[in-house]
Amino acid sequence: MSTWLWPICLVSIGGFLGAISRYGLGTYMARRFPSAIPYGTLTINLLGCFLIGILMRYHAFDDWKLLIGTGFMGAFTTFSTMNLESVKQLRTGLWKAWMIYTMLSYTGGILLTFIGYYI
């Protein structure tokens, strides 16, 4: 396989798996835990932080970084969705839910990245 095609294949495969995983987990969490706090996106992003910490810790080879880091985690985690949901919370006056969601997303994400790195 061509040297330029291999990285594209790895990112594409990882992205496909990450996107369908995000959809499946997000849908499941929304049905299981309906709330003003979007637990699906929160869970996905926190799990992604934890997994990227593990990937960083073990200095994964370039192919693994492309497949899991860029491909899977790039499609699985979703900063833009988190921010869209935050704006929706603010526009509908759900200030408390917005504060909880934002704090859990950022502090939890940083904390779980460290935990993933140090386990």
> Quick one: pLDDT at residue 78?
87
pLDDT band at 60 (very low <50, low <70, confident <90, very high): low
- pLDDT over threshold 80, residue 59: no
Averaged pLDDT, 84-97 = 95
- pLDDT over threshold 70, residue 108: yes
Q: Which residue has better confidence, 80 or 45?
A: 45
Averaged pLDDT, 92-104 = 97
d(CA 49, CA 28): 20
pLDDT digits (tens, 9 = 90+) for 13-56: 999 999 999 999 999 999 999 999 999 999 999 999 999 899 88
Identify the weakest region by mean pLDDT among 14-18, 36-40, 59-63, 64-68: 59-63
> Quick one: pLDDT at residue 28?
97
Averaged pLDDT, 61-68 = 88
Query: CB-based burial of residue 32 (10 Å sphere; 0-12 exposed, 13-18 middle, 19+ buried)?
Result: exposed
Residue 77 annotated as binding?
A: yes
CA distances from 43 to 5, 12, 68, 85 (A): 33, 23, 18, 14
Residue 74 annotated as binding?
A: yes
> Quick one: pLDDT at residue 61?
76
Phi and psi at residue 12, to the nearest 5°: -65, -45
